[in-house]
Amino acid sequence: MASPSKRVIVIGGGLAGLACTIKLAEEGVAVDLFSMVPVKRSHSVCAQGGINACNEIARQQGYSEWEHFDETVLGGDFLADQPPVLEMTSWAPRIIDLLDRMGVPFNRTPEGKRDLRLFGGSLYKRTFFAGATTGQQLLYALDEQTRRRESEGLVNKYEFWEFLWPVIHEGQCVGIVAQDMRTMQIRTFRADAVVMATGGNGLVFGKSTMSVICTGGAVSRCYQAGARYGNPEMIQVHPTAIPGEDKCRLISESARGEGGRVWVPRTPRDTRPPNSIPEGERFYFLEERYPKYGNIVPRDIATREIFEVCQEGLGVGGGNMVYLDLRDEVKKRGREAILGKLEGILEIYEKFVGTDPLDEPMKIFPAVHYTMGGLWAGFTKDEKTGGLKRGAPNNMMTNVPGLYVMGEASFAYHGANRLGANSLLSCIFDGLFGATGIKNYITDVAAIAGADVPQATYDDYLKRETEKQNWLLHNDGDENPYLLWQEMGKWMTDNCTVVRHNDRLQNTLDRCQEWKQRYERVKLSDTGMWTNQNLSFTRALRDMLLMSEAVLKGALARNESRGAHYKPQFPERHDAAYLKTTIATYDPATNSAVIDYAPVDTSLVKPRPRTYGKKNVTSADKAGAANGPATAAPTPAAVSVGV
């Protein structure tokens, strides 16, 4: 096969990166695929519950692609630009068909149809799944297709390589600087365009359900290089996880979708074993407060309700845990039926907790899980359909020409809160839909081809990154980077997750300035130049500090409650002032974030109250978005996520 004349670099081996790689190769574009870990170990492998789409069965229930779109923008509290969301949900059925043809082993009904389950934010079964390991099955299927293109010479994999910095020539991204994580060699790579598909930033909060490589460092480096960061304050805390000493482990929303019930004892600080507590003495608080949706309310709502009952002293034993109970479903359907749909997560719980979750309710608590914010991405609206114009070069492109963003690293689609099972869809949609626009950009729009950029440009970036590394290797300070990270994670988790108060946000922001100063005194415990993970982590710590500052400043400035961003002092949504995207821009002169705003496209569905049928709805809720902030409320004691 003839060598393609155009080359794109894709950073990230998860679903977004692989989908984009496959489509670019199909278009005849050569791809260099970079990943810090083997592709099949990318964080997408941890996704459990499913992937949303309308199909013929759901359509017979009255569901449609439009309904999926409406649920998504409502779930995101109307902070997402609507044309990209409409296009994504319109593509969803075709994506499921494609994955099916690739061999993804979706669960089937007795009639052989692809099975569906309930997921948060919808009253319709519209979530396709492969047991409770859906992400793994999708990742493996896309990896097979990637290896097919690799065998044809269209894809080069660079596994165990870390992205260090984008190469920008006259305002255009034309390559990257990267490091071999084994030999520690730093190299530059030319490209006509670069795609960032590197996932979220869970490590900013210390412990989360994300993989331990999810520092957000790659996105932060693009942000520091001039790319805008959209809605940094929007962080999803998943309602059901297993707290752990090292990290938090996800218990998928599919457990609730398959009939799992969340409850606590009605008596405060009840220490009885759960199996001995009678039905009448259990408080099924989600079912009682949200009778229409029950246990499948969106994640931000479920998380806040769990926090509230724990603050009231109703948590398990008076602590920060609630029960997630599948025993009723075992009685109805039998153990084997439940295992056939949830075995993956049930094994995780039994392995790390030591009890059988089908014999005794699981003990769970919220944990940081997903980043709705990310690098800002543009789009071109198709005025005929209301969705996106296919092939437009600026679709999924950041404000830096030639630098694209996809998947969780992007701010698009989810607004202020992501609906469960929309993540896998958004990742694959980004890659499949966006690749055509990338090809059109490198073919028809780019001011200069990567091959024509002077070598001096790449040499300069290589020198800069080498100097940064040398500073870390030789810095003789007194600061342990891991202890500094742990302190940052605890402060961020305590003060900038589910419940946010401006005084605590300001205190944490002040502390962040101190962290940045202390970082100048970090000292490596390992200065060897072979697989030096201490160097990699410490370098990423600076990126996390700058990212945490953007999160804090965005949260402090948004005086309302919207989706995952909840301030008791400002409990209502305030559309007049805050129906807009937060834009964080890095100022190198001050080494800090500057917060500005951009409009949100709500041209397809007008914002409306987001109550999900909650009982005792207030008059303010019924009236819709509030016209101004509420009066201040007293600050309750902090409850730490995942602790």
Round to whole Å and give the CA distance between 506 and 491.
11
Round to whole Å and give the CA distance between 231 and 375.
9
Nearest one of 275, 376, 375 to 326, comparing CA atoms: 275
Q: Are 32 and 191 in contact (CB under 8 A)?
A: yes
Please, which residues bridge with residue 367 across strands? 238
Q: What is the DSSP string of 117-128?
A: B--TT-SS--EE
Nearest one of 439, 570, 442, 595 to 501, comparing CA atoms: 570
Round to whole Å and give the CA distance between 380 and 635.
44
Q: Which helix (H) or strand (E) holds 175?
A: strand 172-180
Q: Are 481 and 541 in contact (CB under 8 A)?
A: yes
Q: Tokens 């938090």 map to which residue?
A: 248
Parallel, antiparallel or unpaired: strands 193-196 and 403-405: parallel
Q: Where are the beta strands (DSSP E) in 83-160?
A: 127-128, 155-159
Q: What is the DSSP letter of 89?
A: H
Q: What distances in angstroms separate CA 351 from CA 244, 324, 348, 415, one per listed residue?
A: 12, 17, 5, 35
Q: Tokens 């984009």 map to which residue?
A: 20
Round to whole Å and give the CA distance between 569 and 501.
7
Q: Are 44 and 139 in contact (CB under 8 A)?
A: yes
Active-site residue, from 126, 190, 256, 299: 299
Round to whole Å and give the CA distance between 47 and 134.
6
Round to whole Å and give the CA distance between 490 and 258.
33
Burial of residue 183 (number of CB atoms within 10 Å: 0-12, 13-18, 19+) = exposed
Parallel, antiparallel or unpaired: strands 7-11 and 193-196: parallel
Q: What distances in angstroms separate CA 444 from CA 8, 57, 174, 519, one per listed residue?
A: 15, 42, 15, 44
Residue 500 is among the residues annotated as catalytic for this protein: no
Q: Are 618 and 600 in contact (CB under 8 A)?
A: no
Which pair of tokens denotes residue 387? 């969705």
Round to whole Å and give the CA distance between 275 and 259.
18
For 279, residues 6+ apart whose C-beta sits below 8 A from its C-beta are none
Q: Tokens 């170990």 map to which residue?
A: 41
Question: Helix 15-26 vs helix 423-440: angle between axes, to the nearest 10 degrees?
Answer: 30
Parallel, antiparallel or unpaired: strands 193-196 and 186-190: unpaired
Largest CA distance in the chain: 75
Q: Any idea which residues carry the catalytic annotation?
A: 299
